[in-house]
Each structure stands twice: as structure tokens, then as C-alpha cells.
Amino acid sequence: MNTIILQIILFGARSLSAQVTVPPDANDYSPSWSPDGSKIAFTSEFTGEPQIFIIEEEGSGQIQITTTKGGNEYPSWSPDGEKIAFVSHRDGNPEIYTMSADGSGQQRLTNNSAVEEKVSWSPDGSKILFYSNRTGVDDIFVMGADGSDPINLTQSAYYDFDPAWSPDGARIAFVSNRDGGNREIYVMDVDGKNQVRLTQNLVYDGKPAWSRDSSSLLFHSGRYGFDIYSLDLESKMLVRVTFSRDSDLDPEYSPDGTHIVFNSRRDGRRGIYVINADGSESRKLTNKYKNSFLRYIQDVGVDVAIEKYLNAQKRNPGEVLFLESELRALAYKYLDGNQIEEAVKLFELNVRTYPVGKCL
């Protein structure tokens, strides 16, 4: 944690000098599109540890749906849109959970001292893929949607992870380092047979995601600084979709196949973006403001933003804290259309001083 002195002169005649703890960047990552295309679930570190949020596909109405300590991440919608599978660290190690799409009814599916991560539903919603190192290395497992009958599909001496079930139900894409140590994209039948390597490169290829007709795969690759690629499985034609070189990761097609959601550091802090399927017309959905307090004012309103900010500061005992009245005055200055620029300058002073930090 970095600490700076932020001098703000806006509360009448007096000057407030406060120590502000500057934790690491609040990144947003692991987006997952709802089956009806109306919402995107994702992980955000806005509260200080990873939690799962949902946002409307055009970027409005952001809400937080998990709150348990330890963190929750990597959401994946069920095919009917009623549930979200995710990874939770609440019990000290990563385990697979499911919950209703509003965050209620959270249920633990795995109970193992190993790492269990990165889930993907079968198209009929009856099974869930995940990877686990319970065998000593990462393998791909499948289990019932209730957590029953886990089966090791890959049984490899190497690392197999990031599984993705094809929409037609016939194949599973995954990542492995089994051939020469490089992380490459593979596919296999749903019973684990016929494991075939699809990519061959000296850098990291990862996080495969199927097209809706199961004919091609999106994935991110470090060939030129981590961009998104598309691979046609029949022709083997590889197309580079993004050219930002700013670490574009975790791509996923929209349900109608016309757009791609992903996360990127294009403006310095990792946020959720949407582009057309051909890579054109990028728009950022989350983390639009360098300062998370100002961002949260717009997303959820003044009262909730202040509550979240004060709670975050309470996690740093011994620091000099902002008073609620002072935060409220700054918030209303920001909401005043004639004073937005001034408020942003005041609250982003620390970002200019420490580019990797945020004032929360």
C-alpha cells in the first residue's frame, strides 16, 4: 500500500489534509455474457477484493451480487440464465459455487483442499466443467450441476485448464502445456477422448471461447502483446481480431455472435470492453473513471458510493479518514455539471502522482 497526502480545499474556508491509502489497481475481468444478451457478469476488485458484479450490456445499471470475504470471481451463466457458477475463496481455498442470477441461494459444489477454478456449463445445464489440481497437476473435471460425480477427463501429467464446452455439446476446448511446455489450445470429446492440439506457437495461447455455431474459437494470445484471435476449426484459418497490444484477455462472443466482450488495459486499468465481432468499434463498459469513488457515484448514486468508500477506509485502521460530510460535499461538486472537472482533478490528484493507484 502506498500512502500520499491529498490536500483538498473545498469545505468552506477550511483545508482538509488527509492520508489516503492507495491500494493496487481495481481491475475488472472475467466477463460472461447472459444467454439472452442483456447483461454481462464480471469480476471487479473495486471493493478491495474480487467480487462479482452484473452490468447491462450497454454499460448501465452496475450492481454487486457477491459480498463474502475472501473474494468471489470467474462467473459463468447457466444456459437458461437462472444461475451463475463461480469460484469463491471464502473458505480459504478456491472452490466452485453456484447462485441465482441475483446473488441469492449460494451453494458450494466442491469441497477439496486443492484449487478448483474456471467453470463452464454443458449446453443443457446438467453438468459443469472446471479444472482442479487435486491430482497434483491441473486437470479438467466434469461434475453434475449439483456437484455430484466429479470425473477427471484429461488425466495428464501436465497442466490442463480453462475448459469451455461447445454450444453443440460435442466438444470441449481447453489449454494445456503438454507439448513442449507452451500453453496451447486443444479440443477433446466430452468424454475426454480424442485430445487434439489446435495451436502451435512459442507464446501463451489461452482462454478459448466458442462461437455460437461451434465452428470457431476465440482465444487470447501473447504473440504480439496479448490480443484476441479467432480460429476457424474447419479451414484452420487464424484471424487476429484486436491490435491494441494492451493485454486484451478473456474474450467471449455475445449470444447472437455479433459482438465480443473481453477485458483490457487499454487506458491503464483493466476494464470490460465490447467490440464488434470483426474487432471494430470498441466501447468500454466498466472502470471508466480512474477514481473508483467518482465511478461509483455515477453507477449507484451518492449514498451507496459514500457507504462503500467509508467501509473501504475502515479496513485501514490508523489512517486519517475522510468524514462522510466531506465525501458528500465532494460528490455533489462532482454531480454539479459546472464543477465536474474540478472534482475529478481533486480526487484524481493521487492517480497523477501514483499512476498505478486509486483513491479507495
| Cα–Cα distance list, 278 to 30, 310, 321 (Å) | 21, 43, 47
pLDDT at 45: 85
Cell 486443444: give the residue.
Answer: 186
pLDDT at 360: 33
Calculate ∠ Cα 50-313-89, nearest 5°. Answer: 25
What is the DSSP-derived secondary structure letter of residue 323? Answer: P
| Cα–Cα distance list, 293 to 186, 287, 300, 304, 353 (Å) | 42, 11, 10, 10, 17
Alpha helix segments (H runs only) across the chain? 292-300, 302-314, 324-335, 340-347, 349-353
Tens digit of pLDDT at every position of the chain (360 positions)? 333 333 333 333 223 323 222 234 578 999 999 999 999 999 998 777 899 999 999 888 888 999 999 999 999 999 999 999 999 999 889 999 999 999 999 999 999 899 999 999 999 999 999 999 998 999 999 999 999 999 999 998 999 999 999 999 999 999 999 987 789 999 999 999 999 999 998 889 999 999 999 999 999 999 888 899 999 999 999 999 999 877 899 999 999 999 999 999 887 678 899 999 999 999 988 865 445 566 566 666 778 777 776 776 665 444 435 667 767 776 776 666 556 566 655 555 433 332 222 333
What is the value of pTM for the model shown? 0.76
β-pairing, 227-232 vs 238-240, is antiparallel
pLDDT at 317: 47
pLDDT at 223: 87
C-alpha cell at 252: 467471449
Size (the chain), residues: 360
Q: What is the greatest pairwise CA distance in the chain?
A: 74
Give the containing element (helix H, strand E) for 133: none
Domain architecture of the chain: domains with CATH: 2-23+303-353 (no CATH), 28-284 (2.120.10.30)
**Dihedral angle computed from the Cα positions of residues 65, 309, 313 and 68, in that order, rounded to the nearest 10 degrees:** -10
pLDDT at 126: 97
β-pairing, 14-22 vs 249-253, is unpaired
DSSP 3-state of 276:
strand
Asked if 190 and 171 touch (Cβ cutoff 8 Å), the reply is yes
pLDDT at 182: 86
C-alpha cell at 183: 500453453
